Amino acid sequence: MSRRVLGWCGLIVGVIAIVAVAALFVIVGLDRADKIASSLGALIGLAGLGVAVFGLISSRREDRDDDAQRATPGSVHNTIGGPVSGTAIQAKNVHLGALPPPNEERES
């Protein structure tokens, strides 16, 4: 689906949710609607926590699988994804700061 279709679907679902909550307030009264909304909020929060834990566990499994498929020691595989503008520098053991003086005898 395109982003435009997903955006419209999200907007429609949001409007339906607002209308449903307003109808709930009118039909059952504000006090009971508050209790129902609190219970639903707690259940949705627990479901979100479960989804987050599932995502964490599945990403760790993928990392473990990737470790087994990595290149052998001494080989290098560099990838830059997406648009890169300007200079892209890839280096190992870079030390920032002033260069050490050349190996000449120093006067004390």
In tens, the pLDDT along 42-53 reads 999 999 999 999
For the segment 79-90, what is each residue's pLDDT rounded down to a tens digit? 777 777 777 777
Q: In this predicted structure, what is the pLDDT of residue 2?
A: 84
Distances (CA, A) of 98 to 5, 69, 91, 95: 55, 39, 18, 9
Residue range 26-48: mean pLDDT, rounded: 91
**Is the pLDDT reported for residue 67 higher than 60?**
no
Rounded Cα distance, 3 and 6, in Å: 5
Residue 39 has pLDDT above 70, yes or no: yes
Checking if the pLDDT of 107 tops 70, the result is no
Give the confidence band of 30 by pLDDT, cuts at 50, 70, 90: confident
Instruction: Name the token pair of 101.
Output: 């003086």
Name the CA dihedral angle for 36, 42, 43, 45, rounded to a multiple of 10 degrees: 140
Annotated domain spans of the chain: 3-69
Answer with the residue of higher pLDDT: 14 or 80: 14
